[in-house]
Amino acid sequence: MSQRHFATIAARAGIAQDPAHEAVTPPMYLTTTYRLKALGQAGAYDYSRSNNPTRDLLAEALAELEGGAKAIVTNTGMSACVLALQLLTPEDTLVIPHDCYGGSYRLFTNLAERKRSFKLEIVNFQQADWAERIQAAKPAMIWLETPSNPLLQITDIRAVCQLAKQLGSKVVVDNTFLTPVLQQPLALGADIVVHSTTKYINGHSDVVAGALICADQAIGEELKWWANCLGITGAAFDAYLTLRGLRTLLPRMQQHQANTARIAEFLQQQPLVSQVYYPGLAQHPGHAIAKAQQQGFGAMLSFDLAVQPALLQVFLDALHCFTLAQSLGGIESLICHPGSMTHASMSPEAQKTAGIGPTLLRLSVGIEGIEDLLADLAQGFAALDAAIQAASTPTGGAGSAKNQVSAKNSNAEATEVPPQQESSQSFRLNPALTALW
């Protein structure tokens, strides 16, 4: 592990290293190709799919931040996942958590079922028998995502890695939600870390990219070969922007987290919230492990609204500081409905098994002023209250009384679905899912 502080590694990545002109900020090399001095005398760089100086600066910084031997910068987070899977053969078994990011789940299940790329075992790491399941599966690779998306469940990385070592399995951790500033899986025994750098590492929601960091140099070299072979290395311009975003990673994460802690506290007090999922809360089932293996609880949080799904749009329409959008980790606050957005590629059954309910909302808390964020959410709850009240008055019109409020407010006598408002934040509940709940 590097002796330098995270803030120093991030802020000084590539600074004052320009051999050509002594530029303080590193230049961006958009060139696709490089001149040879003579036949047989290629320099360090020959073609930018294989190697690029701007991409290399980012890779070096990420390897140092994660404490790895080698990093490979890829063109998306998904391609970083694809890259790690190159270590598997059709005879191998991959263990994945039942509640990983929907796109990763889609990749794993389709590669296993449609391409027979490997055998797949889906394990619920929150259940007591997870170790037995892994021992029985004898996997070549175990995939972890902790905190998980979207329910922020925590897996004990060290415990899984200890078992993996006994079985000769590789452990890959998707560290997108926390970044190396808040969690260093390689130091806990993992072999590979993957990131969607689209999220906190870049932090400004203007680059889709990824990275893979290996503890072992030889595995890193093999995967670098595969990245070039498959053509999934990252673009120089993306690497330049990501390097710029990376410089402020630590202060951004600090601000993200401070805001999230206040929001978690606020949501817990809301009568229309039936459950808050945030590992920073003492009652969260993974709180103790999160405290032990993380350097902070992160800035992702989910909650269940105690209303019928038809009222979700009322809440979303009232928000102005939380934008309804996919993705996370940017400086701006986002709200998402995992069931119909990020996790729509999971079957309704898989969503239900993973605990993704129809009124689950996920927040990516940004770095805006906390008072504005709290006021925004308060506005959303006030709009819900008003809609419930309007529906419960006799003059509220025709309609079902009880179908608008559930859980905490199950006594309210709602009488109609409020008229659909003109929405700037379009929202649609996956119709396939409504049938299941």
Ligand X SMILES: Cc1ncc(COP(=O)(O)O)c(C=O)c1O
Catalytic center residues: 49, 101, 174, 199
Q: Does 196 participate in binding ligand X (rule CB under 6 A)? A: yes
One of 54, 176, 242, 404 touching ligand X (CB under 6 A)? 176
**Which is closer to ligand X, CB of 54 or CB of 104?**
104
Taking residues 204 to 243 in sequence order and writing x for each that binds ligand X by CB under 6 A, - otherwise, the string is ----x-x---------------------------------
**Which is closer to ligand X, CB of 210 or CB of 380?**
210
CB of 199 to ligand X, least distance (A): 6
What residue type is assigned to position 35 of the chain?
Answer: R
Residue with tokens 């809440």: 315
CB of 7 to ligand X, least distance (A): 24
Taking residues 131 to 160 in sequence order and writing x for each that binds ligand X by CB under 6 A, - otherwise, the string is --------------x---x-----------
Separation of CA 77 from chain center: 10
Please write down the HEC assignment for all residues of the chain.
CCCCCHHHHHHCCCCCCCCCCCCCCCCCCCCCECCCCCCCCCCCCCECCCCCHHHHHHHHHHHHHHCCCEEEEECCHHHHHHHHHHHCCCCCEEEEECCCCHHHHHHHHHHHHHCCCCEEEEECCCCCCHHHHHHHHCCCEEEEECCCCCCCCCCCHHHHHHHHHHHCCEEEEECCCCHHHHCCHHHHCCCEEEEECCCCCCCCCCCCCEEEEECCHHHHHHHHHHHHHHCCECCHHHHHHHHHHHCCHHHHHHHHHHHHHHHHHHHHCCCCEEEEECCCCCCCCCHHHHHHHCCCCCCEEEEEECECHHHHHHHHHCCCCCEECCCCCCCCCEEECCCCCCCCCCCHHHHHHHCCCCCEEEEECCCCCHHHHHHHHHHHHHHHHHHHHHHHCHHHCCCCCCCCECHHHCCCCCCCCCCCCCCCCCCCCCHHHHCCC
- Only one of the segments 96-104, 212-220, 350-358, 399-407 lies at the binding site for ligand X (rule: CB under 6 A); that segment is 96-104
The residue nearest ligand X at its CB is: 77
Per DSSP, what are the bridge partners of residue 273? Answer: 305
CB of 174 to ligand X, least distance (A): 5
Binders of ligand X among 260-299, rule CB under 6 A?
A: none
CB of 101 to ligand X, least distance (A): 4
CB of 183 to ligand X, least distance (A): 13
One of 198, 257, 313, 404 touching ligand X (CB under 6 A)? 198
One of 99, 174, 238, 416 touching ligand X (CB under 6 A)? 174
One of 29, 101, 118, 381 touching ligand X (CB under 6 A)? 101
Q: Does 245 participate in binding ligand X (rule CB under 6 A)? A: no
CB of 77 to ligand X, least distance (A): 2
CB of 349 to ligand X, least distance (A): 21
**Which is closer to ligand X, CB of 193 or CB of 276?**
193
**Which is closer to ligand X, CB of 63 or CB of 81?**
81
Cα–Cα distance, 309 to 306 (Å, whole number): 9
Cα–Cα distance, 121 to 139 (Å, whole number): 8
Number of residues that bind ligand X (CB under 6 A): 14
**Which is closer to ligand X, CB of 76 or CB of 406?**
76
- Only one of the segments 1-9, 10-18, 98-106, 303-311 lies at the binding site for ligand X (rule: CB under 6 A); that segment is 98-106
First-to-final CA distance of the chain? 48
- The structure tokens listed for 30 are 């958009």
Cα–Cα distance, 401 to 413 (Å, whole number): 5
**Which is closer to ligand X, CB of 273 or CB of 362?**
362
Taking residues 39 to 78 in sequence order and writing x for each that binds ligand X by CB under 6 A, - otherwise, the string is -------------------------------------xxx
**Which is closer to ligand X, CB of 209 or CB of 311?**
209
One of 52, 54, 104, 155 touching ligand X (CB under 6 A)? 104
CB of 117 to ligand X, least distance (A): 18
Who contacts 267 (Cβ-Cβ below 8 Å, separation ≥6)? 273, 276, 301, 303, 377
**Which is closer to ligand X, CB of 196 or CB of 333?**
196
User: Using CB under 6 A as the criterion, which residues of the chain lie in contact with ligand X when the complex forms?
Assistant: 76-78, 101, 103-104, 145, 149, 174, 176, 196, 198, 208, 210
